[in-house]
Structure 1
C-alpha cells in the first residue's frame, strides 16, 4: 500500500503575516536592515507548512555576504522555516513590478541611513588622510585602500537613495558620486590615486557640508 505524504496547511495568511512580523522585525532591525518586506506564497495565502518564507532586504553598504548569511540563519532559527533572503537591488526587471506590488512591508526605508553612511565615510576619509600630503598619500597603500573602500560606500549609498529624493537636492552631485563607485570597482588598469586625492581635497569638504545640511533639515521635520 502506498503511503501519501500529507502537507499540512499553514495558518490563515493574515495571522501568519502578523506572526512573521512580530518575530522577524526585531531581528532585521538588530542587523541594521534598512528596508524589508515579505513577498511570495505567504503573502498570497498559498503557503503550506513546508513553504519557504520569502523576505526582501536592503542592507547597509558596509555589510558583507557573511552578514547576509548570518541574518538568514538567525531568521530561520527564530521562524522555524527555511528563509529566502532577496536583496531589492538584485530583483530581475521582469519580476520586480509583480514582487513589489504584493510586498508587505516589515521595515520602511529611511533615507537618512544612506545619508549617514555617506557622512560617516567622508569623516573616516578625513581621519585616514589627516596630516598626509599628496605625496604621502601616493606612497601609503594602507591609506589608499581605506579611502577607496569608503568612496565605494559613498557611491553605493548614493545609488540606494530613490530618484525622487535626489531630485529634491539638485545641487548635490548624486550622479557623479554613484558613478565614482563604478569607476573604482571596474577599473581595468588600476586606480588613478592622483584623481582620488583630488576628490579628497577638492570635492569631499563641500559634499560633507551638503549632506550634513540635508540631514539637519530632515531631523528638524
Structure 2
C-alpha cells in the first residue's frame, strides 16, 4: 500500500520548522562552534531531502511545485554520502537564503 503523499510533505515541513527553531537567535559562529546544533540541523536537512525524494516518486505533480527540488535532494545526498566535505558556511547560507521559502512552499502545499 502506497503512503499518503501528504505524509512526505508534512515530514519535510516539520523538519524545516525544526531547523528554523534550532537556529533562532543563533549566528553562524554559534552554529560552527556547536556540534550538537550542526548535527541536529544536518539530520533535519536529510529528512527534508529524503521526504521530498519520496514525494517525487509517488506524487510527481506535487513535487513539481517545489522550486529547486533536485538541488534539495542533492544537498541531502551530500550530507549523507559526502559528510566529510560538508561546509558549515554552505549549510548556514542554505538556512538563511533558501529554507524560509521552502518552509512556506511546503505549508502552502499542505493547505491546498
Is the TM value for this pair above 0.5? Answer: yes
- Which residue in 2 is equivalent to 1:46? none
Q: Following the alignment from structure 2 to structure 1, what is the Cα–Cα distance between the partners of residues 67 and 77?
A: 18
- Which residue in 1 is equivalent to 2:33? 139
Q: Following the alignment from structure 1 to structure 2, what is the Cα–Cα distance between the partners of residues 110 and 116?
A: 10
Of 10, 14, 32, the residue aligned with 1:116 is 10
Change in CA separation of 1:131 and 1:188 when aligned onto 2, cut-off 3 Å: closer
Displaced runs of 4 or more, over 3 A? none
Which structure's relative contact order is higher, taking Cα pairs within 8 Å and 6+ residues apart? Answer: 2
Unpaired runs of 5+ residues, structure 2, are none
Structure of greater Rg: 1
For the pair 1:215 / 2:89, whether they are aligned, the reply is no
CA RMSD of aligned residues (A): 1.4
Of 180, 195, 198, the residue aligned with 2:75 is 180
**Equivalent position SS for 2:70:** helix
- Which residue in 2 is equivalent to 1:43? none
Q: Following the alignment from structure 1 to structure 2, what is the Cα–Cα distance between the partners of residues 188 and 110?
A: 31
Unpaired runs of 5+ residues, structure 1, are 1-35, 37-107
> How far off its partner does 1:130 sit?
1.3
Of 52, 58, 77, the residue aligned with 1:158 is 52
Aligned length: 109
Give the helix-richer structure, 1 or 2: 2
For the pair 1:198 / 2:93, whether they are aligned, the reply is yes
Change in CA separation of 1:188 and 1:132 when aligned onto 2, cut-off 3 Å: closer
